[in-house]
Copies of this chain bind each other. A is one copy, B any other.
Amino acid sequence: MAEALNGLKRTMMCGEPREEHVGKKVTLMGWVQRNRKLGGLQFIDLRDRTGIMQVVFGDDVSEDIFEKAKGVRGEYCIAVTGEIVLRSAPNKELSTGMVELKCEDIKILSESETPPIYIKEDLDAAESIRLKYRYLDLRRPDMQNIFMIRNRASKAIRDYLDENGFLEVETPILTKSTPEGARDYLVPSRNYPGMFYALPQSPQIFKQLLMVSGFDRYYQIVKCFRDEDLRANRQPEFTQVDLEMSFVEQDDIMALNEGLIDHVFKTVLGHEVSLPIKRMTFAEAMNSYGSDKPDLRFGMKIQNLTEAVKGVDFKVFSDAIANGGSVRCLVVEGGASMGRKDIDRLGEFVKTYKAKGLAWIKNKEDGIQSPIAKFFKEEEMQKLLDACSAKRGDLVLILADKDSVVLQGLGALRLELAKKLDLIKDKNEFNFTWITEFPLFEYSEEEERYTACHHPFTAPMDEDLDMIETDPGKVRSKAYDLVLNGEELGGGSIRIHDAKLQERMFKALGFTEESAQERFGFLIDAFKFGPPPHGGLAFGLDRMIMFLAGTENIKDVIAFPKNQNAYCYLSEAPNIVDANQLEDLGIAISVKKEEE
């Protein structure tokens, strides 16, 4: 049975009725959350996007209507008409809990089979089932709330950028494969057999071209694609807030984006971001937190003990220092009470970051306890404790190795300790920081050449220009990331707009004139015609929504996500296609190497 509306109009949403509406006759439409009999009355909890309303059928309705009401089951879609009345027993947990609908008529708009998952908050069902029945999973109020947040955030972003003179311009989805970066998704061309489009990993080149075109300020909320093995919180298609500005320098871009973030957090959460957002150089972030996206909601900085332990007759330390490495530590306040097993587990943990072993010192009330104490003279030990300001009761955790291993290991250990020891007190804190002065190049052992940390169009810092040829590893760039609670929220850079500098950059990256032209030709060409100084930034919208919605799973913020294998349980994509479709495209399925 599916009744038609036949002119019946919804006059209110389920979450709206309040005491002020008592006496009003309304029509609500939605889904049956619950239907129960109580004291000769029939009670239906009716749910829509806005909330739940109690609907009651008494003995003043006709037998027909009462029977119909009795017959509806969970997730039936119905329309009810009646008068809003005060509830004798208010329900404080519902926003509509002071009133109920005294129902006069009911239409069953459509019936429902018993749903395979419960439509309720904090559902704990297998992910594959939730994704297969995504349309039911999305009925849950907490899921709907996430998409209302996402909608509000997108709107706030657009309003702010519009207000600030940005033009939304759409860039192509069917474009050209650029061999730099991650793996592209390819799309075979029918008109040019054997040729392929690529789905964009970002609109980087197009947005720079728009600056060359004089669009001045561009933005787009746009899908990007990467055919990578999916780690947690990655999806093959993801959404970027992408923007670019002309005639500006780094500070202008940072200020504008601080305003954007503030506007979004204020609009969606009522949260005021304290501006300006603090800044930290890449070097400081690495030295103090072992990460270019430090979580600053707690302290426990990495401290350098290299000077303090010079001369100590402990081979692990002295070898590390002799090889150009360092000795660094974290001081865990009050950590001296930690048990041996827990400390051993931390030792195992840092091994996954290539650290060979974790040295530890308990600065207990009754003296030092440490497996390495024996290598230290008493004053040497004191010097170490002083150097890192370890107080009585503290635990010192030490790594000695080459810098990269020590910093990465202690950085990861710091985060692990924060979890274990519950160091983040305010779960609602949003701790923003800019990371600046990123290195321009990084040396790729694999390719035996320098590669661009950001991309080859990122401008070097003026102070470091002279080192591009002589000491590329030391050149810092005009790149910046916005970090929130230890996650990268977005990043960007000032771009090179000087053709000569761009040439030097390509040379430093090991491109010949020909290979640079082949890969980036149309941008290089464009830069011959008066490119303006410009720069930009891109935010990961999915991650921003995760913060705004307070969820740690990216699948929660994407309406129809894919699993770790980029498979959609709902639509069953990817799937086989007709042979003639492939024939049209001039391609054939070959057997993969490992299957031969």
Contacts and interface: CB of A to CB of B under 8 A. Distances in A.
Interface string A170-199: 111111110100011111111111111111
Given A112-B529, A587-B589, A591-B586, A154 B175 contact: no
A145 to B, nearest CB: 11
A189 B560 contact: no
A129 to B, nearest CB: 13
Interface size class of A (residues with CB under 8 A): 35 or more
A360 interface: no
A30 interface: yes
A175 B5 contact: no
B532 A110 contact: yes
B522 A237 contact: no
Q: Which of A199, A586, A589 has the most CB of B within 10 A?
A: A589
B7 A573 contact: no
Interface stretch (A133-141, A393-401, A436-444): A133-141
B185 A75 contact: no
B574 A189 contact: yes
Interface string A278-310: 000000000000000000000000000000000
The number of times this chain is found in the oligomer is 2
A581 B530 contact: no
Contact of A195 (B31, B529, B574): B574
Interface string A555-576: 0001110100111101111111
A77 interface: yes
Interface in A61-86: 75-77, 79
Which one of A47, A144, A565, A575 has the highest number of Cβ atoms from chain B below 10 Å of its Cβ? A575
Contacts of A532: 29, 77, 109-110
A177 B574 CA distance: 8
A572 B247 contact: no
A429 interface: no
Interface stretch (A91-99, A205-213, A334-342): A205-213
Interface stretch (A260-268, A366-374, A497-505, A508-516): A497-505
Contact of A526 (B135, B197, B574): B135
B196 A575 contact: yes
Interface in A349-371: none
A310 to B, nearest CB: 43
A191 B227 CA distance: 9
A185 B196 contact: no
Interface in A574-596: 574-578, 581-593, 595
A269 interface: no
Contact of A174 (B170, B562, B576, B585): B562
A533 B5 contact: yes
B573 A174 contact: yes
A155 interface: yes
A134 B213 CA distance: 8
Nearest to A532: B77
B174 A185 contact: yes
A30 B141 CA distance: 51
Interface in A527-555: 527-533
B529 A174 contact: no
A148 B154 CA distance: 20
Given A530-B31, A572-B176, A589-B587, A168 B186 contact: no
A521 to B, nearest CB: 8
A223 B581 CA distance: 22
Contact of A559 (B170, B192, B249, B595): B170
B575 A195 contact: yes
A173 B237 contact: yes
A89 interface: no
From A225, A560, A568, name the one whose CB has the most chain B CB atoms within 10 angstroms: A560
Interface in A241-255: 246-249, 252
Nearest to A586: B592
Contacts of A248: 5
A77 to B, nearest CB: 4
Contacts of A186: 187-188, 577, 581-582, 585
A167 interface: yes
A575 B522 CA distance: 14
Contacts of A213: 134-136, 138-139, 144
Interface in A17-45: 29-32
A158 B154 CA distance: 10
B560 A214 contact: no
Contacts of A5: 247-249, 533
Given A167-B147, A216-B48, A191 B584 contact: no
B173 A173 contact: yes
B237 A75 contact: no
Contacts of A558: 170
29 contacts: A30-B214, A110-B499, A110-B532, A135-B213, A138-B215, A144-B214, A150-B169, A151-B168, A155-B158, A173-B225, A174-B562, A174-B566, A175-B568, A176-B572, A176-B573, A176-B574, A183-B581, A184-B581, A188-B587, A189-B574, A191-B566, A195-B574, A196-B576, A198-B577, A522-B570, A522-B572, A583-B590, A587-B588, A588-B589
